[in-house]
C-alpha cells in the first residue's frame, strides 16, 4: 500500500531563514506528487505538483520541491521564509490509483 | 465560481444521533472524496467516488456511508455518531487525468467541524 512520511512534525524558524521539509513515499512505480498548504482556519490549497519532466518543480509564493526518484523523496524548500508562511504543510502521493494519500503534515511557525 | 461547497460548516451531535454532510461541486469533476482531519494524523481518506453512482472505501471507512446519486453531489452519512468521529471533515474533487496515475489536483471545500458529545 502507498504511504507518505513527513518526519518533521513541527518546525520553528525566524523570518529570512531557509526551509526544507522532508517527504518520503513508498511506491516503486510512477507517481504524482503534491504539496498542499493549509493556512490557519482555512482549507487546503495546492502549493505545487509533480507529474513528469523536470524533477525540480516551482510553486507559488517562492516554494519549490525536488523529486529524487532514487530516494523516494519530494522535499519542499524555500530560501527565505516569511511570517505569512506560517501554516501546516502536507505532502501527498498518488500512484496508479484513484486515491490521493496524505502525510501527517508539518506545522511551520515563522517568527518575525 | 463556488468550487466545492460543504454544508453544514459546524454541527454538534449527541452519541447515537445520525447526520449527513453534503458536498457540492460545480466544476464538473468526475472524482470526489471525503477526508477527515485530526491533530497529528493529517488527512485520512474515508470514502471516495470515481463517478456518478459509484463509491469506494478509503483508509478509514467504518462508521460512515456515502452516496453519489448526482455527479455534482457527494453525501457523507453518520448513522450512529460516536465521540471518535469528532473531527474536521473535508470534501474534495478532481478531474480524471488521462493515462496513469489517474488523480490530478484536488480542490477542497472549506471543511465541516463535527463534535460528537
**Nearest Cβ partner for B101 among A6, A44, A95:** A95
> CB contact, 8 Å: A24 with chain B?
no
Q: What is the pLDDT of residue A96?
A: 64
Let me know how long chain B is: 117
pLDDT at A38 over 50: yes
Cβ–Cβ < 8 Å for B46, B76: yes
Per-residue pLDDT of A43-86, as tens digits, reads: 899 999 998 889 999 999 999 999 999 999 999 999 999 999 99
d(CA A14, CA A18): 9
pLDDT at A9 over 60: yes
Count other C-beta atoms under 10 Å from residue A80's C-beta.
Answer: 12
Q: What is the pLDDT of residue A54?
A: 92
Do the Cβ atoms of A44 and B41 come within 8 Å?
no
Q: What is the pLDDT of residue B103?
A: 55
Instruction: Work out the minimum CA distance from B70 to partner chain A, whole angstroms.
Output: 19
Indicate the range of A86-90, A94-98, B104-108 predicted with least confidence: A94-98
Q: What is the pLDDT of residue A2?
A: 73
Give B-chain residues touching A97 at CB under 8 angstroms. Answer: 101-103
Q: What is the pLDDT of residue B101?
A: 46
Cβ–Cβ < 8 Å for A65, A33: yes
Residues of chain B with pLDDT under 50: 100-102
- Listed by number, the residues of chain A in 48-87 with a beta carbon closer than 8 Å to a beta carbon of chain B are 49, 51
Do the Cβ atoms of B41 and A104 come within 8 Å?
yes
Cβ–Cβ < 8 Å for A81, A110: yes
Q: What is the pLDDT of residue A13?
A: 97
Q: What is the pLDDT of residue B88?
A: 95
Mean residue pLDDT across chain B? 91
Q: What is the pLDDT of residue A100?
A: 84
Shortest CA distance from A35: residue in chain B: B105
Amino acid at each position: 500500500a502507498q504511504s507518505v512520511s513527513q518526519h518533521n512534525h513541527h518546525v520553528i524558524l525566524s523570518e529570512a531563514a531557509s526551509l526544507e521539509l522532508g517527504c518520503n513515499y513508498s511506491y516503486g512505480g510512477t507517481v504524482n506528487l503534491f504539496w498542499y498548504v493549509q493556512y490557519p482556519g482555512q482549507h487546503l490549497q495546492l502549493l505545487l505538483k509533480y507529474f513528469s519532466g523536470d524533477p525540480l518543480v516551482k510553486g507559488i509564493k517562492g516554494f519549490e520541491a525536488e523529486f529524487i526518484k532514487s530516494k523516494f523523496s519530494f522535499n519542499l524548500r524555500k530560501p527565505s521564509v516569511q511570517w505569512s508562511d506560517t501554516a501546516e504543510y502536507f505532502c501527498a502521493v498518488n500512484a496508479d490509483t484513484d486515491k490521493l494519500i496524505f502525510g501527517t503534515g508539518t506545522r511551520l511557525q515563522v517568527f518575525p | 465560481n463556488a468550487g466545492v461547497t460543504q454544508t453544514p460548516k459546524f454541527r454538534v451531535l449527541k452519541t447515537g444521533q445520525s447526520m449527513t454532510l453534503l458536498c457540492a461541486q460545480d466544476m464538473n469533476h468526475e472524482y470526489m472524496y471525503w477526508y477527515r482531519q485530526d491533530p497529528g494524523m493529517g488527512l485520512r481518506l474515508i470514502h471516495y467516488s470515481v463517478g456518478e453512482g459509484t463509491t469506494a472505501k478509503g483508509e478509514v471507512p467504518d462508521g460512515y456511508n456515502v452516496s453519489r446519486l448526482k455527479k455534482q453531489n457527494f453525501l457523507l452519512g453518520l448513522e450512529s455518531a460516536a465521540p471518535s468521529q469528532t473531527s474536521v471533515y473535508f470534501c474534495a474533487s478532481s478531474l480524471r487525468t488521462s493515462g496513469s496515475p489517474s488523480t490530478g489536483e484536488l480542490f477542497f471545500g472549506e471543511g465541516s467541524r463535527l463534535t460528537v458529545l
